[in-house]
Amino acid sequence: MAEKKNEQMEAIVSLAKRRGFIYPGSDVYGGLSGTWDYGPLGVTLKKNIMNLWWKMFVEDRDDMYGVDAAILMNQKVWQASGHVDTFVDPLCEDTVNHRRYRTDHILKDKGIDTDGLSMQQMDQAIMDNGIKSPDGNPLSESRTFNMMFTTQVGPSANQAINTLEHDLHVLSMGSGLDEHEIQKPSKYAQVIRDYINKIDTNVTYLRPETAQGIFTNYKNVVDNFYPDLPFGLAQQGKAFRNEISPRDFVFRSREFEQMEIEFFVHPDKWQESFEHWIEQCRAWFDALGLPADKIHDLEVPEEDRAHYSKRTIDFEFDFPIGKEELMGLAYRTNFDLMNIQDNAKKSMEYQIKGTNEKFVPHVIEPSFGVERALMAVLASAYTEDEVNGEKRIVMKFPEHLAPVKYAVSPLLKNKPELVEKAREVYQILKKKYGAVMWDDNGNIGKRYRRQDEIGTPNCVVIDFETIEGDGMVTIRDRDTTEQKRIAIEQL
Ligand code: ATP
C-alpha cells in the first residue's frame, strides 16, 4: 500500500516538472534543498487557490480586513512572540557522516509515535529500539535547533567579526602554532558572534509565520476602522523555516506561503468562534474539491500544542505520503496581543462601543498552508484511467482552479483557413476567460493527452465543418472524453 502511495507521489512530482507546474529550486546549479519554483501552470494554480481564499474569507465577508505586512520585522517581534526561545525542533546527528535529522522524524519513520514525548524520551526510544541513522550509523543525542533564518538589516557587527576571524586565521596559519591554537580564533569568534546576535539590533529573522505581521497591525486597523467584535485580519504571504530535513515535495519546504487569519473575539465567546471556524475550514476544503472522507480532525493534546495555544485542531489529509497536517486551527488566547502590550508598552485594549468595557481581545487563528493545499489539490486531481484501451493520466481539477480553462486547436495546423477561424475563436475565449491556451502541436489525440495532463476541462477544435457548414465547433469534456458540437456563441 505504502509503495503504491509513493508511486503516486513520484508520478505527481514527475508530472509537475514535465508539464510546467513545479520545478526544484535553483535546479541548474544542482538545487537548494527545501526550495521549489513555480512554472507557468503552477503559478496560475497557486494564484487560483490564493485568490479563492481571499474571495471567500476577505471579500465575501463583512467582518474581515486584509493586510500585507513586511517580511522583515523588528527582532523584538520574535523575542516577544517566544519564537527566539521556543521555535525549535529536536535535531540529532549521524555520528559518522554528520548528516542531521529531526529526531521525531527518525522515530516516526520506524513506526514509533512521538506525540507527547520530550526530547530526552525520544533519545531514550532511539536507544531502546537500537535505531540507527538512515546510513546505518549511530545517532548522537538530540539538541534543540531554532528554525528561524537569521538575517541582518544594514551593515552589521557580525560582518566585522567575520573579517576579524578570517584575518586571525590567516595570521595563525603562518605562525607555526599547533592545530589546537589555530582553532582558537574561530572559537572566540563564535562566542562573540553569539553574543552580538543577542545584542545587535541589526539582526533579525525571515518571518517563520505571517501571524505576527497581523498582530503588529491590529491596533492600526482598530484605530482606522473601529470594527465591531468579532472581526478578523487576514494575510497571505511567504514564511520561512529552516526545516532540518525538508522532504515530501512541497509539503515540507524551507520557503512557503501561508494564508492566516487572526479572528479577534470577546474572551467569553471564543468557543462559538472556534466552532464557526471549524465549519469555515470545512467549507474551504470543499471549495478546493477535496473529498470529505480524506480529511481528519486531530484534537491536539496539550503537551503537543504550540506554546501559545489553549486548543488546537490539526486538519489532516490523506496525502500520498500518508495522513499529514494540511492546516491548523488554534485558540491563541490573548497571548500575542498581551506580549505586544507588555513589551512595546502600548495598550492593545479594545473598548466595546457605547460601554466602558475594555479588554485585550482573544484570538482564533485558522492557519492555512498554500503548498499543502496545492499538494492536496494535485493529489485529489491525479487520476489514471483508460481511454480506447490506452492508459491516460488526467488531472481532474475543479474547473475554477484549473490553470487553463479552454484549449483551442485547429484540426490541422497547415490549413490556413482552419487556423484563421481557430485564432478567432481563441481570441473570443481569451477575452472572456483569460486562461485559454492555443495548442496546435502534434495530432489531436496527442493534444488531448497533453491537455488532460494539465487538467484543461474543455478542448475546442475547429474543423472543416466549422468553416464550411454549421459554424459549430467540437468541444471535448476532459473527464468523460465526450465530444459535442456546439455553436461558438455558446462556449
Ligand atoms: P508541521 O507539524 O507539519 O511542521 P506545524 O504544526 O509546525 O507543521 P504551523 O506552525 O501550524 O505548522 O503552520 C501552519 C501551516 O503552515 C501548516 O498547517 C502548514 O499548512 C503550513 N506549513 C508549516 N510548515 C510548513 C513547511 N515547512 N512547508 C510547507 N508548509 C508548511
How many A from CA of 87 to the centre of ligand 1? 12
pLDDT of 179 reads 64
pLDDT digits (tens, 9 = 90+) for 278-294: 999 999 999 999 999 99
Measured from the CB, is residue 19 less than 6 Å from ligand 1? Answer: no
| Residue 193: predicted pLDDT | 66
Return the beta strands (E) in 106-217 as ranges.
143-146, 150-152, 203-205
DSSP secondary-structure letter at 220? Answer: H
Mutation choice for ligand 1 from 38, 367, 368, 374, CB with most ligand atoms inside 8 A: 367
Cell of 3: 509503495
Number of H-type helices and E-type strands within the chain: 16, 23
**Residue 351, beta-bridge partner list:** 358
Q: Is the CB of 328 under 6 A from ligand 1?
A: yes
Residues 113-136 as b/e (b if ≥16 CB within 10 A, e otherwise) read ebeebebeebbebbeeeebebeee
Instruction: Give 369 Cα–ligand 1 centroid separation in angstroms.
Output: 7
CA distances for 69 relative to 56, 237, 240, angstroms: 20, 9, 15
Q: Do residues 36 and 24 lie in contact, with contact meaning Cβ atoms separated by under 8 Å?
A: yes
Q: Whose CA is nearest to atom 26 of ligand 1?
A: 252
Buried b (16+ CB within 10 A) or exposed e, 65-96: bebebeeebebbbbebbebbeebebbbbbbee
pLDDT at 115: 82
Nearest to 433 by CA among 48, 57, 29: 48
Q: What are phi and psi of 376, to 5 degrees?
A: -65, -40
For the CA of 243, the closest atom of ligand 1 is 27
Give the number of C-alpha atoms closer than 13 A to the C-alpha of residue 395, restricted to the C-beta side: 29
pLDDT of residue 217: 97
pLDDT of residue 159: 67
pLDDT tens per residue across span 160-203 = 667 777 777 777 766 676 766 766 776 777 777 666 666 666 78
**Ligand 1 close to Cβ of residue 256 (< 6 A):** yes
Ligand 1 mean position, distance from CA 209 (Å): 9
Q: How far is the CA of 188 from the centre of ligand 1 (A)?
A: 36
Amino acid at 394: V
> Atom 16 (ligand 1): residue with closest C-alpha?
369
pLDDT at res. 270: 96
Look at the pTM and tell me if it is higher than 0.85: yes
Atom 27 of ligand 1, nearest CA residue: 252
Q: Identify the segments of the chain with pLDDT beneath 70.
A: 1-5, 155-161, 173-175, 177, 179-180, 182-183, 186, 193-201
Question: Is residue 369 lining ligand 1, measured as CB closer than 6 Å?
Answer: yes
Angle made by CA atoms 137, 143, 148, in degrees to the nearest 5: 115
Cα–Cα distance, 313 to 415 (Å, whole number): 59
236 within ligand 1 shell (Cβ under 6 A) = no
